[in-house]
Structure 1
Amino acid sequence: MKSIFVRSGLVAFGAVAGSLLLVITIVPALGGVVDGNAWLMCIICPLATAWPASAFTFWQSDRLKQAHRDLARVHAQLAAAHRRLAEKAQRDDMTGMLNREAFFAALDGSRRKADRGALLIIDADHFKRINDNFGHLTGDDALQKIAAAISRGVRSSDILGRIGGEEFGAILVGASDEEAASVAERIRSEVEQIHFAPVDDAVVRLTVSIGGTHCPPDGTVPELMRAADARLYEAKRRGRNLVIIGEVMVRAA
């Protein structure tokens, strides 16, 4: 308010100065005489009109600027909320990994951008037994521990997703077959080392089977999934707790 008063005062005094300048310039040129009443009117009229008018204008201008700032702030908040919601919509609530749809979209994008890479499908072994014997809440706890172990096993650039109930996917961007086998074995080992004792200190062994395939740039998502699935089923068939990447098999020690 003080700022408005000062600014409008400056405008009013400027109006007074302009009025006086016009009077002392034009009236004598027209043969008139500037007397005391003329001086008084030249001062009072601009002050009475310019000061309140400019004050109101400045007040409205400040309100408009504040409204614009508030609108910009709300817009930024809405944009941030939209980004958070969009991110949340792509995430699995339990593990924080990408959900199935987002993972497949990421897989499609990654194989278009790089001529190297690998896809892993990671499946928890005998997981139904945990749900049947201990209940689904205990099963959820086991899944979260497995998901954390998978996260520890991958590289920082890799992309993880939960693509089924107890099935996970990993996109190893730019990885060679040897790097993919190393990451997959690290995941398998991390899961195997989990100490999971849900009831009365009875330890339940957690393991995963992993199937993987190289990701050529011309390979489609269904083709890559079928190839990795075939390796996963082969790992299951050969006894589980096993990694098969292409033609490479890594068995637990």
Structure 2
Amino acid sequence: MRRIVVKASIATVLSIAASLGLAMSIIPLLGGVVDGNAWLMTVLCPLLIAFPASAYQFWQHERLRTARDEIGRLHGELTRAHAALAQRARRDGMTGLLNRESFFGDASRLSAQDEGGALLVVDADHFKTINDRFGHPAGDAALLAITAAMKGVLRKGDLCGRIGGEEFAIYLPGTTDAETRVIAERLRAAVAAVRFEAPDGTQVPLSVSIGGARAGPGRNFEQVMTEADRLLYKAKRRGRDRVAFAGRVAQAA
């Protein structure tokens, strides 16, 4: 309000100055005399008209500016909320990893552009036993422990998603076969090193089986997924807690 009064006062002073200037230049040209009444009118009329008119105009301008600022603020909040919701829709609610649809979409696009990469399918071993013996909350805690162990191994730029109840998928961009085997083995070892305790205090060993397949340009991603899945079950059949990649099964140490 103070700013409006100051602006209106300045506008009024300028109006009075303009009115005085016109009176002093025009009235003599018309043969009149600028007397007391003329002086009074040149000051009083701008004062009575210019101040309220300019004050109202500046008030309206302030209202519009405030409204624009508020609209801008709300638009920013809506944009951030929309982005947060969109990001949340891409994530698995429990682990925070990419959900199945988002992972396959991102990995498929990345593999089509990548000069060389690999897909790993990771499955928690004997997970049904944990759920049946200790309950689903313990199973959820085990999945979170597995997720944390894998995150500690993965590099920046690697994609990781939860694609089933206890099944995960990882896309490793720009890796050779040798690098892929090393990362897969580190994932397996990191999970095996977890010391997981059930609610009753029982120490429950955790392990994962991993199947991997080469991805990249010219390879259909669905076929890559099928191959990785086939190798996963090969690792399962060989005793679990193993990595199977390109026809080779690496046993747990």
Report the TM-score, using the length of structure 2 for normalisation: 0.97
Paired amino acid for 1:215 = A
Partner of 2:191: 191
User: 1:150-169 to 2 correspondence within 5 Å?
Assistant: 150-169=150-169
1:116-173 Cα offsets, whole Å, 9 max, x none, are: 1111000011111111111111111111111111111211221110000000011111
Shift of 1:220: 2.5
1:6-38 Cα offsets, whole Å, 9 max, x none, are: 110110111111111111111111222222111
2: CA distance, partners of 1:25 / 1:224: 92
Shift of 1:247: 3.1
SS, match of residue 210 in structure 1: strand
Partner of 1:179: 179
Partner of 1:141: 141
1:62-108 Cα offsets, whole Å, 9 max, x none, are: 11101111111111111111111111111111111000001001111
Q: Do the aligned partners of 1:103 and 1:160 also contact (CA within 8 Å) in 2?
A: yes
2: CA distance, partners of 1:27 / 1:248: 107
2: CA distance, partners of 1:195 / 1:35: 102
Q: Do the aligned partners of 1:124 and 1:209 also contact (CA within 8 Å) in 2?
A: yes
2: CA distance, partners of 1:93 / 1:200: 26
Shift of 1:42: 0.5
2: CA distance, partners of 1:96 / 1:154: 15
Partner of 2:42: 42
1:11 aligns with 2:4: no
Paired amino acid for 1:100 = R
Partner of 2:115: 115
SS, match of residue 18 in structure 1: helix
Partner of 2:52: 52
1: CA distance, partners of 2:86 / 2:102: 11
Query: For structure 1, which runs of at least 5 residues remain unmatched after alignment?
Result: none
2: CA distance, partners of 1:87 / 1:99: 11
Partner of 1:251: 251
Partner of 1:205: 205
Partner of 1:221: 221
- Aligned-pair identity (%): 47
Shift of 1:113: 2.1
SS, match of residue 154 in structure 1: coil
1: CA distance, partners of 2:113 / 2:38: 82
Aligned residues: 253
Shift of 1:203: 1.8
Query: Structure 1 residue runs of 4+, over 6 Å off?
Result: none
CA-atom RMSD in angstroms = 1.1
1: CA distance, partners of 2:3 / 2:238: 82
Shift of 1:199: 4.6
The alpha-carbon distance between structure 1 residues 62 and 199, as it changes in their structure 2 partners (threshold 3 A), is closer
2: CA distance, partners of 1:161 / 1:26: 84
Paired amino acid for 1:206 = L
Query: For structure 2, which runs of at least 5 residues remain unmatched after alignment?
Result: none
Paired amino acid for 2:227 = A
Report the TM-score, using the length of structure 1 for normalisation: 0.97
Q: Do the aligned partners of 2:211 and 2:231 also contact (CA within 8 Å) in 1?
A: yes
SS, match of residue 171 in structure 1: strand
Q: Do the aligned partners of 1:196 and 1:205 also contact (CA within 8 Å) in 2?
A: yes
